[in-house]
Amino acid sequence: MRNLKACLLAATVALATLPPFSVFAANGDTLKQVKERDLVLCGVHPARHGFAAPDSKGVWEGFEVDYCKAVAAAVLGDANKVRYVPLSSQQRFPAIQSGEVDVLARNVTANLSRDTALGLNFAPPIFYTGTGFLVRADSGVKEVKDLDGAVICMAPGSTTERNIAQIFAARGLKYTPVVIENNKQLVDAYVTGRCDALAKDKAALPGVRAVDTPNPADHVLLEGIYSKEPLAMAVRQGDDQWYDIVKWVVYATFNAEEMKVFQANVDEMLKSDDPDIQTLVGMIGDNGAKLGLDQKWSYNIVKQVGNYADIYDRHFGPSTSIALDRDLNRQWNDGGILYGQPMN
């Protein structure tokens, strides 16, 4: 009994002498490198309308480009401190694995095999879509079964390539794949008639029709979505702090929309009495310290880039040439599945 009491006393003394557990994140390697470089290296699609593409002056713009900016706004306080690294489907994973980029925002579908086998961590999905088909309006093709024996254009190394094989096999249909890595060449192959259909994430096809075809009215999207494609930013495994930062950048854009804190009114919201809004804009709490960032990190995101609705409408809203309905990409309380975890 005496030995037991002695052991308990020794254990109590040992615990009392341990340094207190810190709730604040220590600087991880990626955050340290980004701050020293004063620049976020962001892997993006070379040219996908609405998502990422350089304009006529070489300035990058798009939905995923804005999420690269959101990371820079949170980490460096300046949304313009980004170097965009255009990556093909086959280049994207080696680029994030090797450290060529800090974050991958390149139409990447989050799935189990990528999450476990490629050494990646996925932030919450920022865009929900699925495999779709673009066909000529005069082809007589109304649904997938009408593509039996068709020539299908698709990119290699993508989930689309695997999805097409599964879609056609499940229906007992045959097809001939034309697999082209370069996106422009891929689209040109369809436009010039080398392929009967172009298969991509359905969210990408309206941009192809609106911008890349001589007469958009000559082409139609087949009804329906034929796979689950949750597009998410990815980071390397092994740096939990950087993963937390990218994850909470996404949640900040979701929560800001839910709280009706927009780019246009964020300064007015600094005066809000709502504690959730006060936390979001950095007036109370210590979320910045917990992430290793400035206290105004989420305010900077909304002020410089916007909330989710601001970003979506800028690139896919009704006034754009693409004009995509938000569908599943609505807030959870508006018929969608976007759900920002609480920031308390």
Mean pLDDT by 10 residues, the chain (344 residues): 42 35 54 97 95 95 98 98 95 96 96 95 97 96 96 91 94 96 93 96 91 94 90 97 98 98 98 98 97 98 98 96 92 97 96
Residue 156: how many CB atoms within 10 A of its CB?
A: 14
Return the pLDDT at 4. Answer: 40
Question: How many Å apart are CA 333 and CA 42, to the nearest integer?
Answer: 31
Q: Residue 199: its pLDDT value, please?
A: 96
Give the model's pLDDT for residue 267. Answer: 98
For 5-112, strand residue ranges (E) read 40-44, 53-54, 60-61, 82-86, 103-104
**Where do you find CATH 3.40.190.10 in the chain?**
29-129+230-254+316-329, 131-227
Which CATH number describes the domain made up of 29-129+230-254+316-329? 3.40.190.10
CB neighbourhood size of 249 (10 A): 27
Between CA 236 and CA 97 the distance in angstroms is 6
Task: Assign residue 62 a region (left: φ > 0; alpha: ψ between -120 and 50; beta: otherwise).
Answer: left
Checking phi first, is residue 99 left (phi over 0); if not, alpha (psi -120 to 50) or beta?
left
Q: 124: which DSSP letter?
A: P
Q: What is the 3-state secondary structure (H, E, C) of 152-196?
A: EEECCCCHHHHHHHHHHHHCCCCEEEEECCCHHHHHHHHHCCCCC
Taking the C-alpha atoms of residue 61 and residue 79, their distance in angstroms, rounded to an integer, is 12
* 131-227 CATH choice from 3.40.50.300, 3.60.150.10, 3.30.420.40, 3.40.190.10: 3.40.190.10
CA dist 133 and 114 (Å) reads 24
- Among 161, 154, 181, 235, smallest CA distance to 46 is for 181
Tokens (6 digits) for 78: 């300046």
Task: Name which of 114, 132, 128 is nearest 228 in CA terms.
Answer: 128
| Closest by Cα among 93, 41, 84 to 60 | 84
pLDDT number for residue 27: 54
* Amino acid letter, 138: D
